[in-house]
Amino acid sequence: MVAAVLLFAVPSATIYYTDWLWFQELGYQGVFLRTLNAQALVFTTTFTIAFVFLFLNLRVARRALSRPQFVLGTTEDGRSIVIESRMLANLLLPGALIVSFGLALSASNNWLPWLSALNAEPFGDQDVLFGRDVAFYVFQMPVFDMIRQQALVLAVLALGASGFLYLLSGNIVMEPRHGVAFWPRLNLASTARRHLSLLLALLLALMAWGTWLELPRTLITGAATNVVFGASYTDVYARVPFLRVSLVVMSLASLLSFWQAFAPQRWLLPLALGAYVVVSTAGGLYASFVQRFVVTPNEQTTEQPYILNNIAATRKAYALDRVEERPLSGDASLSADDIIANAGTIENVRLWDHQPLLQTFGQLQEIRPYYDFVNVDNDRYTLDGKYRQVMLSLREMNTELLSNRSWVNERLTFTHGYGLTLGPVNEVTSVGQPVLFVRDLPPVTTVDLKIDEPSIYYGEKSSDYVLVKTQQPEFHYPKGEDNVTSAYNGTGGVELGGLFRRLLFAIRFGATNIVVTSQLTAESRIMFHRQIGERVRAIAPFLQYDADPYPVVADGRLFWIQDAYTTTTNYPYATPFGARGINYLRNSVKVVIDAYHGSTAFYLWEPTDPIAMTINRIFPGLLKPMDEMPKALRSHVRYPEEIFKVQAAAFATFHMTNPQVFYNKEDQWQVPVIDDEGSATPMQPYYTIMRLPGEKGTEFIQMLPFTPRLKDNLAAWMVARSDGEHYGRLMVFQFPKQKVVFGPRQIVARINQDQVISPQITLWNQQGSTVIQGTLLVIPINESLLYVRPLYLRSAGGRIPELKRVIVAYQDQIVMAETLNQGLVQIFGRSVATALSPDVRSVDDVAPTVLGAAVTTQTPLVGVSSDLAVLAAQANGHFERATVAQREGNWALYGEEMKKLSEVLAQMDKIRK
């Protein structure tokens, strides 16, 4: 027994103590102690109440066991099954202890609702049916449900166990009724009747409490008709009245059960229970009658007030009431001057998709097999004085790919990743590979982006634990045939100190080497919880976290930013969207993690969110004001994709605020679905830099278009802004319903049917290469649209996708060119080329600047978008269109295109001379 306790207690105590050291290292010991105290208080309170209640009830029932032993039955061979009273009595104490411990352990895991209820911040919004603040549903109801459920478990267990003891002792006897064999008479001794009646009164009171909780629950559950979420007409005029009657009947039944414990009458309780059954049955029948004969024939009229409640609550719950809606004319046309005026948008069109770019980074920049690029992220930087969108990925250490996975290698030597790869979203080398501003080991740069500390000890791929500041040199990065080593000089990790701490961590991680190795010193540190998602959840498990933390280069250092959400499933009248039934969502917290030191800071990004304010009350000092975030990091905060997708899904329906339109779903939208490589997939939001209609400058936004439900033409597009004071503002630009604007699916169909583009794609595929069609991008310019789609080519057996062509579509025109600039020239003329920066560079166009070394002279750019190249692109476009026209027998168009071709060739001849 002692050995079993030690086997359970020692590892648990070790984990608690080492966690305390870890929280202390991060400066969050207050969070740890608050959590531990809450868990201990809930456990102790629940255990004490449960044990006292169960044990006292069992002690009272045990007194009826007057005989020394009891016969429970007989075996097949006729032997009696006997149980001794003493043995049964000896089981009562451990039984009560085990049940109480289990209930207390379960309750202690749900400590947060208790603290939330005690520190609840009002929402300031009341439900229209009962007049309660939303905080009641979000914070109080979960606690009431927990108390009631655990009390029900205790009441049922006490009633069942006590009834068994009374039955065993003969205080409960079942006798056959005269003439009614199937309904025996139940005779109870006075002691048993009194005890069991009191327990039954408690059980009925808890059932009455459950009926009372069903009243507000009608506002946070879906209606039977699916017309609205929350209380509907039938709920308000049928279910709620009968629930109130049921509450009175159940309360009366509880009082009668209590009265029966001391009164000789036996008919009172059955009468009350019968009344409850009648009321419940009648309530269900009446609700069905109202729904069938009152609501269904006049559903739109009867449900209109509740539809309005549903619309208002859902828009509030997802912050859709803040969306700024702007109309677009749908008549605007673009000229070369418009393209030039929006050069900032054109020069940041993302031509590199995440997956092809990740594959390219992996082949070109992982350098060694134990390095890994986990993800590619979008961000924006001011580089050489120009505001640019870039894609970047950190080079992390993946110890699972080490050829020799010894303990020393995994835990002491290969401790960290190193450096990053960063490049513009819109540029490509002359061989179809991405232009890289930051690359190689050690990191080299071609722009004014300072990186003083490229080591990555904390990231998306970081392994379980490593030991630093040891006598074993740490691998830093490879250099030719040799390796450069380093020693950690940061503040991350828990100090190991002497033998005692080493022993504790050896127990925690099951690694005896921590104790026996001679490589550790008194200054050695152990780093654990190094994976970003695991790290933030260990500190604040009560927040929901975005699936995509992203890296930031700021003040010469590498950081991670992790978005965190506050959510609930109990917002009255709000329709759930997304996973887990969530119907309230805010991006209230941003978490910043230093990739070298591991310091972790939580910033309150939406200070008016009641859930975040409640958390701030529970854990003072955990959430810092957003103004305390360093300016260099604040300029890289972005609106997260996860919440934007949920808000877009909700707005597709809940932009309709007219109840009649909403009921008929007349103007419902959907995210466009694109037929791609044999499968239909919804478009995903994407980041870009652009100038929004009506705004003066370019900015970093996230965008997603909408089409009408079951239609393919474009209805609107939604953006989430990320820069400066505009952060978090949602805008929707809507086209007139009477105008037909080509949508993404229609553009893709036209591309696939184009008699120049489609045969070329087929030809590439037949030659053994694989054509990868990139993301179709919708690029709003002024009040019109461009569509851009990159094409990547991967050779047979190759692993590096190359950006081979760019398809540009505008109104009725679709062209395919080697670069975006050339495609725009074919549509809008050569004047746009002189105003746009080159988007293709030669392979050796820029000599790198080695970080930490002397700056070398940079070779001038060698652009291929010269006048001849531009004219050549125009000539090729005219020739291809002429060829198609000839094939179709359209001789008028053929003659026009050949005339234009001659004019372009003449211009080229003049330039050559």
Kindly state the helix (H) or strand (E) to which residue 233 belongs, with its residue range. helix 233-234
Instruction: Provide mean pLDDT across the span 103-118.
Output: 94
Task: Tell which residue, 194, 185, 189, 152, has the closest CA to residue 168.
Answer: 189
Place of tokens 């030659």: 767
Does pLDDT of 533 surpass 90? yes
Contact assessment for residue 801 and residue 360, using Cβ atoms and an 8 Å cutoff: yes
Beta carbons of 562 and 536 less than 8 angstroms apart: yes
For 568, the enclosing helix (H) or strand (E) is strand 556-568
Q: Which of the four pLDDT bands, split at 50, 70 and 90, describes residue 864? A: very low
Query: In angstroms, rounded to a whole number, what is the distance separating the alpha carbons of residues 292 and 117?
Result: 40
Closest C-alpha among 802, 813, 673 to residue 751? 813
CA-to-CA dists, residue 533 to 538, 540, 588, 666, angstroms? 9, 11, 17, 42
Q: How far is the C-alpha of 412 from the C-alpha of 408, rounded, in Å? A: 5
Q: Which of 322, 382, 424 is nearest to 721 (CA)?
A: 322
The fraction of the chain above a pLDDT of 90, given in percent, is: 60
What span, in angstroms and rounded, lies between the C-alpha atoms of 616 and 543?
A: 12
pLDDT at res. 502: 94
Residue of higher predicted confidence among 47 and 291: 47
Do residues 224 and 291 make contact, with C-beta atoms less than 8 angstroms apart? yes
Q: Round the CA-based radius of gyration of the chain to a whole number and report it.
A: 36
Residues 6+ apart with CB under 8 A from 853: none
Q: What is the mean pLDDT of residues 339-366?
A: 90
> Measuring CA to CA, which residue among 375, 364, 311 is closest to residue 655?
311
Closest Cα to residue 116, out of 533, 566, 536?
566
Maximum distance among all Cα pairs of the chain, rounded to whole angstroms: 124
The token duo for 908 is 């080229």
Look at phi and psi of residue 214 and say left if phi exceeds 0, alpha if psi is from -120 to 50, else beta: alpha
pLDDT, residue 260, reads 81
Each residue's pLDDT tens digit, 58-100:
988 888 776 655 656 566 665 656 566 666 777 888 889 999 9
The whole-number pLDDT of residue 583 equals 94
- Please check the confidence at residue 398 and state whether its pLDDT lies above 80: yes
CA dihedral 281, 285, 287, 291 (to 10 degrees): 160
Q: E-strand spans in 120-231?
A: 172-177, 180-188
CB atoms within 10 A of CB 299: 17
Parallel/antiparallel/unpaired status of strands 386-397 and 377-383: antiparallel
Q: What pTM does this model have?
A: 0.88
> Model confidence over 797-830: pLDDT tens digits?
777 888 989 999 998 899 999 889 889 999 988 8
What local confidence, expressed as pLDDT, does residue 878 receive? Answer: 72
Phi and psi at residue 790, in whole multiples of 5°? Answer: -80, 150
The 3-state DSSP class for residue 907 equals helix
Report d(CA 653, CA 880) in Å as an integer: 44
Mean pLDDT (the chain) is: 87
- pLDDT tens-digit profile of 491-507? 999 999 889 999 999 99
Give dist(CA 314, CA 312) in Å, integer: 6
Model pLDDT for residues 739-775, shown as the tens digit of each residue: 888 899 999 989 988 888 988 888 888 777 888 899 9
Q: Hey, what are 143's tokens?
A: 């606690």
